[in-house]
């Protein structure tokens, strides 16, 4: 069965549809010896070459789909390769025998919290695409005096340099002075959008954490720098939420995975010792 090249390569885990489209535009992909074109339809038996490397489509398409829930700490970046050799989120993920991990959205270097990864590019594309309207929730600590007019403006919409932006909801979660906490939600993921909305009101975000992506919440027991495999039942619900099917079989509840480099407690979750 023929499928558009960006869809079949994404489904095989080589990258998101957007990444594949950028490779095609640059002329990095050939199909049966000819430069690939956007929207070109191919089968899994086609001879596809990416920057000189032949892709094993039929093998990759049979790979069992996986989704990881990762607690990104402050200080890590979401780029796969960094010229400055800073620590990236990909450094902490388990190795795959085939395919590669695709980040579902990003968080800036000063933001921590929930990041999802999958080896299924089709799922990643669906979850990130604006048409899916997947809700993100963030916990925000604010420096400065917040008044009702500011909150109303951020709900109604503020004109930023890349267009109008707004929060769907803003809820006060406690604190006073330099330690006021709010939870905000929105359905898009523009660069530093949460920070820029608060900054448009003359306020400073001193802490920012993503606590939810769609129906997936950050487990408080999952320490910064650690990841957990998503159980099959939750994966099926995640696929269904964006109109896809997942034939993953049920398996025992996975254990949380820890990295030896990140054994220290997350300072945000420290408990008082008695």
φ/ψ (deg, to 5) at 120:
-110, 105
Angle at 120 (CA atoms; ends 115, 124), nearest 5 degrees:
45
d(CA 144, CA 165): 21
Question: How many CA within 13 A on the CB side of residue 114?
Answer: 22
Q: What are the strands, taking DSSP E only, across the chain?
A: 3-4, 29-31, 34-35, 41-42, 48-50, 53-54, 67-72, 102-104, 112-118, 136-143, 158-160, 163-165, 169-174, 180-186, 204-213, 216-217, 227-229
| Residues assigned a catalytic role | 108
Which residues, including other chains, have CB under 8 Å from residue 214's CB and lie 6 or more apart?
A: 127, 134, 135, 238, 241
């Amino acid at each position: 069965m023929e499928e558009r090249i960006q869809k079949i390569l994404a489904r095989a885990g080589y990258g998101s549809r957007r990444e594949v489209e950028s490779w095609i535009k640059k002329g990095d992909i050939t199909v049966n010896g000819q430069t690939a074109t956007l929207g070109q339809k191919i089968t899994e038996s086609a001879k596809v070459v990416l920057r000189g490397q032949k892709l094993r489509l039929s093998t990759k398409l049979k790979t069992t789909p996986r989704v990881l829930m990762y607690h990104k700490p402050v200080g890590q970046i979401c780029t796969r390769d960094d010229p400055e050799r800073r620590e990236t989120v990909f450094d902490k993920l388990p190795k795959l025998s085939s395919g590669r991990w695709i980040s579902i959205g990003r968080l800036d270097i000063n933001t921590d919290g929930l990041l999802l990864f999958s080896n299924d590019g089709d799922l990643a594309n669906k979850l990130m695409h604006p048409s899916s309207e997947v809700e993100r929730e963030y916990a925000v600590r604010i420096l400065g005096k917040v008044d009702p007019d500011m909150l109303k403006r951020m709900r109604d919409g503020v004109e930023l340099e890349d267009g109008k932006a707004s929060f769907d909801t803003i809820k006060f979660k406690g604190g006073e002075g330099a330690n006021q906490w709010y939870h905000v939600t929105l359905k898009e993921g523009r660069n530093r959008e949460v920070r820029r909305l608060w900054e448009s009101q003359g306020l400073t975000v001193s802490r920012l954490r993503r606590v939810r992506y769609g129906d997936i919440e950050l487990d408080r027991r999952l320490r910064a720098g650690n990841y957990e495999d998503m159980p099959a039942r939750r994966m099926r619900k995640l696929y269904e939420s964006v109109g896809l099917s997942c034939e993953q079989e049920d398996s025992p509840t996975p254990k949380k995975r820890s990295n030896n480099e990140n054994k220290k407690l997350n300072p945000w979750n420290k408990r008082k010792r008695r």
